[in-house]
Amino acid sequence: MARRLAVLDAERCVGCQMCMFACSRRFSLGGYGRSAIHVRSVGGVEKGFTVIVCRACIDPLCAKVCPTNALRRRVGGGVLLDPSKCIGCGRCVDACTIGAVFWDEEKNKPVICVHCGYCVRYCPYNVIGLEEV
């Protein structure tokens, strides 16, 4: 069964950003320069947090606007990036309604969640989880 990363309850988020660090750590990197998940406050930390990550669209807008077919549909929703095809135009970033296409400044390519679930282990508050689709 294909799985997708889901935001289960953003109200439980404490804004620790552990998921962001986990995502870059998959590539053995510190920091969050290559992270596909983002946590920010809802206009001030006292109001809580928003967790932004690819929601695995079945017919993804980001893939539709890609001029080089670098983004192909993933089984279970969302996309997979073929970096060799990507020209770094950034249209996918503009296209995503929820802002879940991030940008790797060093490689000048998009960063999009592949729904591997590595970050889930590092969320102690069960804000995020893997769902079968």
Partner 1 sequence: MWNVLYIDLSRRDFWVEDRGDLFDRWLGGIGVAIQLFKEEVKPDADPLGPDNVIVFAIGPLTCLYPMASKTVAVFKSPLTGNLGESHAGGRSAVAIRMAGYGAIVVKGASDIPVYLTIGDGTVRFRDASVLWGVRSTITVGRILREREGKRGLRTIMRIGRAGENLVRYACVITETYRHFGRLGLGAVFGSKKLKAIVVYGRESIPVKNPVFYRRVYDDIYDLAVKSELMKKYHDIGTSMNVNMLNTIKGLPTMNLRSSYFDKAEFISGEYLAETRLGRRIACSHCPIACIHLAALREPYKGEPYFYKTTYVSYDYEPIYALGSMLGISDTDGLLRLLDTVEIYGLDAMSTGVVLAWATEAYEKGLVTIKDTLIELRWGYVEGYLQAIRYIVDQVNQFYRDLSLGVDHASRIYGGVDYALAFGGNEMPGYSTGYGAYLTYLTGGRHSHLDSAGYSLDEKLLGKQYPPPEQLIDMLLAEETWRQILSSLVICFFARGIYTVDKVIEALKALGVDYSRESLTDLGFDIYKEKYRVKMGLGFDLDSLRIPRRIFETESCSRMLDESYINAALEYFKAKIRGMLS
**Contacts to partner 1 by CB under 8 A:** 14-18, 21, 24-25, 27-34, 38-41, 43-46, 48, 104-106, 122, 124-125
Structure-token pair, residue 15: 């804004």
- In the complex, the smallest distance separating the C-beta of residue 28 from partner 1, rounded to whole angstroms, is 3
**Cα separation, 88 vs 93, whole angstroms:** 10
Q: Are 119 and 128 in contact (CB under 8 A)?
A: yes
Give the nearer residue to partner 1 in terms of CB position, either 59 or 105. 105
Write the single-letter amino acid at 20.
M
Pairing mode, strands 71-73 and 49-53:
unpaired
Give the nearer residue to partner 1 in terms of CB position, either 63 or 100. 100
- In the complex, the smallest distance separating the C-beta of residue 93 from partner 1, rounded to whole angstroms, is 14
Give the nearer residue to partner 1 in terms of CB position, either 2 or 42. 42
Q: Are 89 and 104 in contact (CB under 8 A)?
A: no
- In the complex, the smallest distance separating the C-beta of residue 69 from partner 1, rounded to whole angstroms, is 27
